[in-house]
């Protein structure tokens, strides 16, 4: 797989991020490289595929999420479990083959760091998930499905993001 993808090296389509943006996250955006239109096209495609899956799997339904937390319904546990298993297998194959993406760039997972917010924020997130019956992906899928009330959830999510932006310097990390 790796060699196949290497042969299709289309590096010129996607300018690699400059060293500056990689090492200096505080750099202002205007100088940094942007993705090619092909990246946006494939991203849109995968996103659409995912939106269909979220909707058709009923991850987007409040009742399903509620019954998951009540241990009345194994549906969501099985979705998350089988999803993680397949993703894990896929990533193992990618590592084993040292596969590159279709632009020729090596695929590398960027680990998310540990800090106190992983637990504190995680708990807050879980509480919101149980109340709204939707995590961020399904919120977007609800919007697309024309659920007007999802506008309140989105507005709340953005308010929460601003709240975090404001509170970040004062929170334990």
Partner 1 sequence: MTDFLLQPWPWWFSGPLIGLTVPLLYLLAGKGFGISTSFQQIGALCSPRSKLDYLKNYDRRQGTWTLVFALGIVIGGFIGSQWLSAEPIEFLPAKFYSIGGAIKLFIGGTLVGFGARYAGGCTSGHAITGIANWNFPSVVATIFFFVGGLGVTWGLGHILF
Tokens found for residue 171: 């929170």
Q: Does 15 bind partner 1 (CB under 8 A)?
A: no
Residue 2's contacts (CB-CB under 8 Å, 6 or more residues apart) are 97, 98, 99, 100
Cα–Cα distance for residue pair 97/116, rounded to 1 Å = 35
Among positions 6, 10, 15, 81, the unique one binding partner 1 when judged by CB under 8 A: 81
Site for partner 1 in 124-143 (CB under 8 A): 124-137, 139-143
Give the x-and-dash track for 31-70 against partner 1 (CB under 8 A).
Answer: -xxxx---xx-xxxxxxxxxxxxxxxxxxxxxx--x--xx
Q: How far is the CB of 93 from partner 1 (least distance, A)?
A: 7
| 5 touches 104 (CB < 8 A) | yes
Site for partner 1 in 93-112 (CB under 8 A): 93-94, 99, 101-103, 105, 107, 109-112
Q: Does 160 bind partner 1 (CB under 8 A)?
A: yes
Tokens found for residue 56: 């058709």
Among positions 4, 9, 98, 164, the unique one binding partner 1 when judged by CB under 8 A: 164
Q: Does 4 bind partner 1 (CB under 8 A)?
A: no
> Nearest-CA neighbor of 170 among 95, 117, 132, 114?
117
Give backbone dihedrals phi and psi of 49, rounded to 5 degrees, phi first: -55, -45
């Amino acid at each position: 797989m790796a060699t196949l993808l290497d042969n299709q090296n289309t590096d010129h389509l996607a300018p690699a991020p400059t060293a500056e943006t990689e090492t200096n996250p505080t750099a202002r955006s205007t100088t940094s490289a942007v993705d090619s239109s092909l990246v946006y096209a494939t991203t849109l495609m995968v996103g659409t595929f995912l939106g269909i899956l979220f909707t058709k799997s009923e991850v987007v339904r409040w009742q399903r999420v509620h019954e998951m937390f009540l241990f009345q319904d194994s549906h969501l546990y099985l979705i998350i479990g089988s999803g993680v298993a397949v993703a894990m297998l896929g990533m193992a194959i990618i590592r084993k083959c040292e596969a590159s993406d279709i632009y020729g760039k090596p695929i590398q997972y960027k680990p998310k760091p540990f800090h106190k917010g992983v637990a504190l924020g995680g708990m807050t997130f879980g509480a919101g998930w149980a109340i709204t019956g939707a995590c961020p992906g399904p919120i977007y899928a609800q919007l697309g499905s024309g659920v007007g009330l999802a506008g309140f959830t989105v507005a709340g999510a953005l308010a929460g993001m601003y709240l975090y932006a404001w509170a970040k310097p004062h929170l334990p990390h």
